[in-house]
Amino acid sequence: MIADFDPYRNFPAVADRRQFRELIASDPAFRHLGLDDDRYVRARVSGNLITSLHRKIGDMYEEVFQYLLVSTFGLSEEELRFSVDVTIGNRIQRRSTDGVVTTHHLVAKNIDVARLLPTCSENWKASSGLGFEVRSCYQIGDSKRIQADYDMALRLQSLGYVPVMLIFCLSSLRNPIARLSRTWNLLQGETAFLFVRNLTGFDLDCFLGRHSDQFKSIMSAVFANF
């Protein structure tokens, strides 16, 4: 959990910024370079924190969305984590979606996919359903990861699924978004929140707003550690 994050957990006998600064001051590689400075310590520790923080926030959005799919459509774990083989470089890797909803489930709930996805044609009922990938924000510029996500959509399409990527922020890296938009029905920011509400009937944005004070309290405690 974010609340349990310890920025110094990988350094034995280091419990705070002062001790970390002393560690750097005695490190043969750094002791002559002036890195025993609070500004360096904050930058290094916060870099680890931000990476962990973004990962946990991403997990939160993914798990909440999966819970909503299960609650709304009564999906099994096998249905939820639909797996496909994707060729990455010269290797075939098994990857799981962040959720799949079949056309049968959508029709049973009277959900019109063409209304939810303006880019989806009216004959969506001929598809197998919707296949999802969920991100809090796309901030990875690694070309292999981007290519894998790109190919994931192609694989879903080949199996008859409409690929949908939900990215809840509006501050993603521009180049990955431009590339992934070629294969995914990609929804960002408020549009992603609206999609979730229309698909599941749950207002996720409103829910997060109601618990904002709790989230801010946790973040404040974490940031106080460095």
Q: What is the pLDDT of residues 59-73, one digit of tens each?
A: 999 999 999 999 999
Predicted structure pTM score: 0.83
- Residues 163 and 161: their CA atoms lie apart, in Å, by 6
HSE-CB for 194 with a 13 A CA cutoff: 10
- Residues forming beta bridges with residue 84, ordered by sequence position: 95
- Residues 101 and 69: their CA atoms lie apart, in Å, by 8
The pLDDT-based confidence of 226 (bands split at 50, 70, 90) is low
**Is the pLDDT score of 88 beyond 80?**
no
**Dihedral (CA of 140, 171, 55, 69) sign:** negative
All structural domains of the chain, each given as residue ranges with its CATH number in brackets, are 54-223 (3.40.1350)
The pLDDT-based confidence of 102 (bands split at 50, 70, 90) is very high
Q: Report the pLDDT value the prediction gives residue 1, as an integer from 0 to 100.
A: 61
- Residues 42 and 38: their CA atoms lie apart, in Å, by 6
